[in-house]
């Protein structure tokens, strides 16, 4: 695939931060695989998380959704969640070494049979996933199994780092579709040809629907359900979980979401993800602003000023 950004244009700060981050990644890649994964997990948990405010955000999210958690568990998650984030980052940049582990991951759950049935029928599939464990383990695994697996991605705000990032995730597999007009056209062509599309949908979306997630309203994109209905595609939630050893993976393919309407279907996805997160609290990216503005917007009284 061609370089999506041949001449990136960004600020001096973007350029300098790109150099620092790429330098850290390059240094880590010089180490043996397990050493670099362990080191990057430690670096993000112990150094980057306090500076970037990740620990504060984790505490705020947990207080908002799980106020009953003991303080000791909150403290553990403030360490474990950034560790998983760091490991995921360097794994994605490790290319073939990461893929070699991802393709060994077993797939469990009723969604696998649904996925195989769809492939036999030539029916397109929308795989909805989230920032859980390492989400790219799913893509690497299914490509290895012979599935025509594509993915939709969002361009990063730093154009210099985005170009580097896209080249790295392309090494795991293609096709990749960037959010935007051109990417959507290519994505639709892929779906209509009976392909499989993976989409991460567990981030805050400003114009998303206010759906339940962990007992609170969270703005959620309906795009996966809308695509499934439009193209008669199977909508299957699938997640790549990290093994206890910190280096291997297992893939959980939940049951296909029955076609009904976008809100009902997307709420079912949220419910399934919440159930999985509650069983693996340290593997979800609690560093994200998943409930950003939701507690304000949804309680606003009619006629109140914005």
What digits encode the pLDDT tens for the residues 120-151?
A: 999 999 999 999 999 999 999 999 999 988 88
Gyration radius of the chain's alpha carbons: 19
What domains sit in the chain, N to C, each tagged with a CATH number? Answer: 12-291 (3.40.1130)
> What are the angstrom distances between the C-alpha of 257 and each of 156, 160, 239, 254?
30, 38, 15, 9
Q: How confident is the model at residue 176 (pLDDT cuts 50, 70, 90)?
A: confident
Spatial CA neighbour of 143 closest among 181, 122, 166, 173: 173
Spatial CA neighbour of 129 closest among 205, 241, 280, 259: 241
What digits encode the pLDDT tens for the residues 276-294?
A: 999 999 999 999 999 975 4
Environment class of residue 150 by beta-carbon count within 10 Å: exposed (0-12), middle (13-18) or buried (19+)?
buried
User: Does position 44 have pLDDT exceeding 80, yes or no?
Assistant: yes
Output 39-44 pairs: Cβ under 8 A, ≥24 positions apart: 40/86, 40/87, 40/89, 40/90, 41/82, 41/83, 41/84, 41/86, 41/87, 41/246, 42/83, 42/86, 43/86, 44/82, 44/83, 44/85, 44/86, 44/89
Q: How confident is the model at residue 269 (pLDDT cuts 50, 70, 90)?
A: very high
User: Does position 45 have pLDDT exceeding 60, yes or no?
Assistant: yes
pLDDT of residue 303: 38
Q: What is the reported pTM?
A: 0.86
pLDDT of residue 183: 80
Average pLDDT, integer, range 34-62: 93
pLDDT of residue 173: 75
């Amino acid at each position: 695939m061609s370089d999506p950004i041949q001449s990136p244009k960004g600020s001096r700060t973007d350029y300098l931060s790109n150099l620092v981050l790429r330098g850290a990644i390059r240094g880590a890649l010089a180490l043996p695989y397990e050493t670099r994964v362990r080191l990057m997990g430690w670096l993000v948990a112990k150094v980057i998380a306090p500076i970037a405010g990740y620990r504060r955000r984790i505490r705020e999210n947990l207080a908002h959704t799980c106020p009953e958690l003991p303080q000791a568990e909150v403290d553990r998650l403030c360490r474990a969640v950034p560790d998983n984030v760091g490991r995921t980052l360097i794994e994605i940049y490790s290319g073939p070494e990461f893929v070699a582990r991802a393709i060994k991951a077993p797939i469990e759950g009723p969604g696998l049979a649904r996925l195989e049935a769809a492939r036999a029928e030539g029916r397109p599939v929308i795989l909805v996933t989230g920032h859980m464990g390492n989400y790219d383990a799913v893509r690497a695994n299914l490509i290895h199994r012979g599935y025509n697996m594509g993915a939709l991605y969002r361009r990063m705000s730093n154009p210099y780092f985005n170009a580097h990032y896209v080249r790295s995730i392309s090494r795991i597999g293609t096709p990749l579709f960037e959010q935007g007009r051109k990417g959507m056209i290519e994505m639709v062509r892929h779906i209509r040809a009976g392909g499989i599309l993976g989409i991460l949908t567990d981030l805050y979306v400003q114009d998303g629907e206010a759906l339940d997630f962990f007992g609170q309203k969270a703005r959620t994109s309906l795009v996966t359900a809308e695509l499934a209905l439009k193209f008669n595609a199977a909508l299957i939630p699938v997640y790549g979980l990290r093994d206890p050893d910190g280096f291997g993976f297992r893939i959980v393919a939940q049951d296909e979401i029955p076609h009904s309407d976008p809100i009902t279907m997307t709420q079912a996805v949220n419910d399934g993800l919440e159930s999985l997160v509650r069983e693996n609290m340290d593997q979800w990216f609690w560093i994200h602003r998943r409930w950003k503005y939701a507690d304000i917007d949804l309680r606003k009284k009619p006629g109140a000023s914005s």
